[in-house]
Amino acid sequence: MSTPSISVTGIRMAGEFVEGDKVADRIFAACEQAGFRLADDDVVVVTHKIVSKAEGRVAEMAPGDWEARDALIAREGATFLRRKGSIAITRTRHGFVCASAGIDASNVAPGTVTLLPLNSDRSARSIRSRLKRLAGADVAVVISDTFGRAWRNGQTNVAIGVAGMLPTVNYRDTTDSFGTVLKVTNIAIADELAGAAEMVMGKAEGIPVAVIRGAPVKRGRGSAAELIRPAHEDFFL
Amino acid sequence: MSTPSISVTGIRMAGEFVEGDKVADRIFAACEQAGFRLADDDVVVVTHKIVSKAEGRVAEMAPGDWEARDALIAREGATFLRRKGSIAITRTRHGFVCASAGIDASNVAPGTVTLLPLNSDRSARSIRSRLKRLAGADVAVVISDTFGRAWRNGQTNVAIGVAGMLPTVNYRDTTDSFGTVLKVTNIAIADELAGAAEMVMGKAEGIPVAVIRGAPVKRGRGSAAELIRPAHEDFFL
């Protein structure tokens, strides 16, 4: 049997993103420039930051102005779950639980912040559809953001938009090496892909995109919305 | 500038693990057999399942006997955070929040379950120290398990043991492309490594180990214990 292997390749992109930029076109151009040829079943992970900028999802906010930040959170349609000092844990209009409704002051012009895409699954579908045409390859797309977690220190990248693949891999119907049917394992592979991509993206090096090849994704119509646990099933809201 | 790339390679291992097995020796032998040569700075991710078996951390439990399961959770020194039907969300003796204190009936002989290693950071250090000697390569080691999360459907693999690297990468002191000092980004890279490894491990294919090459880990004395948010700082316990 062969040795299974996955590769995660960062795609450098020079220059800023501004409203109206065509994200898929620029990703394709950057791949071409890097000599990286997209292939069927590749997963293209895109940091939401460039998507938000291209979609004009940018607002003004002075650094450390928590009152303005809280007003922006409310304007974004998010609700507050917990607040303490400058920390605000929120549930966004999409249903994501994260700090400050995903409002982010890093890697934007000082005095401005980026907001999450209004509909990050739709953004993923749009990028996928255009990339597919440009590259002639049936890729999947994940849009990522950096979220904190309950109970564990540190943040990881997770999926906030998914297109062309299922966000989870279901081992429920498979049998383990003892013949026991696995009951509860349903891996959130879109989040693992986003986390793997983070490792080549870093935070400040102009690598907003990573291409993951060889991952055991199941192709199909999927969304990041499916990763949101319904409020009535959640023990920790 | 070069294109940054990470590889994640699964290492197949034939045969069961039983108490007393030398995990590092078997990993090294499996790498040799696969023609995979470990190198400095590789991260060797090991599913806790084989570590638990080798350490004799196995107990008897009839499938679906939730009373026995709950007794085992208590015996394991874990506390119950939430209970509903057959679901028990617990905090383990190590401080990890997960279902059923990590007790797991998959990939063990029917009627038995595996328990978490008593001290998974110590297990990681021990595997690393032996692997380093056998392979002559200064590798890091992550021991992984599959945990659910608050707010999001599906599970991901996370680190429950770490040796030879820091569990987080701190971007706090770095400057983003606009010269803004990043304040809050502290990536739990050990968890992202565990998640990336899961994608080549699958659940039932005899691949309990993955080697990740090229990840931006910071070497040093680190532990998975550092990934546990202290109870008094946690909003969701």
Is residue A67 classed exposed, middle or buried when 0-12, 13-18 and 19+ CB atoms within 10 A define those classes? exposed
The crossing angle, in degrees rounded to 10, of helices B120-135 and B23-34 is 50
For residue B24, pLDDT over 70 is answered with yes
Flag if A36 and B155 touch (Cβ within 8 Å). Answer: no
End-to-end CA distance of chain A: 45
Task: Please report whether residue B142 resides in a domain.
Answer: yes
Note down the domain range covering B87: 58-116
For residue B226, pLDDT over 70 is answered with yes
Cβ atoms of A131 and A51 closer than 8 Å: no
Q: A18 and A65: one domain? A: no
pLDDT tens profile A115-151 = 999 999 999 999 999 999 999 999 999 999 999 999 9
pLDDT tens profile A57-85 = 999 999 888 999 999 999 999 999 999 98
Q: What is the pLDDT of residue B3?
A: 78
For B169, nearest residue in chain A (alpha carbons): A154
Flag if B82 and A235 touch (Cβ within 8 Å). Answer: yes
In the block, tokens 């546990």 appear at B228
Q: A71 and A185: one domain? A: no
Ranges A2-6, A111-115, A212-216: which has the least confidence: A2-6
What is the ipTM metric for this complex?
A: 0.95
Contact map slice: B 36-55 vs A, CB within 8 A: 36
Give me B176's structure tokens. Answer: 């983003």
pLDDT tens profile B158-205 = 999 999 999 999 865 556 666 665 456 799 999 999 999 999 997 666
Amino acid at residue number A53: K
CA gap B96, A152 in Å, rounded: 8
Is residue B60 classed exposed, middle or buried when 0-12, 13-18 and 19+ CB atoms within 10 A define those classes? exposed
CA gap A182, B105 in Å, rounded: 9
Alpha-carbon distances of A55 from A12, A16, A49, A157, B198, rounded to whole Å: 20, 13, 10, 21, 34
CA gap A54, B78 in Å, rounded: 48
Q: A63 and A45: one domain? A: no
Per the prediction, chain A carries an average pLDDT of 93
Alpha-carbon distances of A22 from A29, A52, B102, B132, rounded to whole Å: 11, 12, 46, 48
Region B208-232: mean pLDDT is 97
Flag if A154 and B227 touch (Cβ within 8 Å). Answer: yes
Q: B202 and B100: one domain? A: no
Q: B48 and B65: one domain? A: no
Alpha-carbon distances of A204 from A167, A208, B42, B171, rounded to whole Å: 27, 9, 24, 9
Among the three residues A73, A97, A116, which one is the final residue of a domain in this structure?
A116
Residue A214: CB atoms within 10 Å:
18
Probe site for chain A from B114, B152, B212, B235 (most A CB atoms < 10 A): B152
Probe site for chain A from B16, B27, B106, B166 (most A CB atoms < 10 A): B106
Q: How many domains does chain B have?
A: 2
Give me B11's structure tokens. Answer: 């290492």
Give me A205's structure tokens. Answer: 């090096």
Q: A138 and A209: one domain? A: yes
pLDDT tens profile B59-80 = 999 988 889 999 999 999 999 9
Residue B193: CB atoms within 10 Å:
31
Q: How many helices (H) and strands (E) does chain A have?
A: 5, 12
Flag if A227 and B154 touch (Cβ within 8 Å). Answer: yes
Helix (H, G, I), strand (E, B) or coil at A172: coil
Flag if A7 and B6 touch (Cβ within 8 Å). Answer: yes
Task: Please report whether residue B233 resides in a domain.
Answer: no
Q: What is the pLDDT of residue A110?
A: 87
Question: In terms of Cα–Cα distance, which of A105, A47, A227 is closest to B155?
Answer: A227
Cβ atoms of A115 and A54 closer than 8 Å: no
CATH assignment of the domain containing B183: 3.30.1330.100
Does B175 contact A at CB distance below 8 Å?
yes
CA gap A106, A49 in Å, rounded: 9
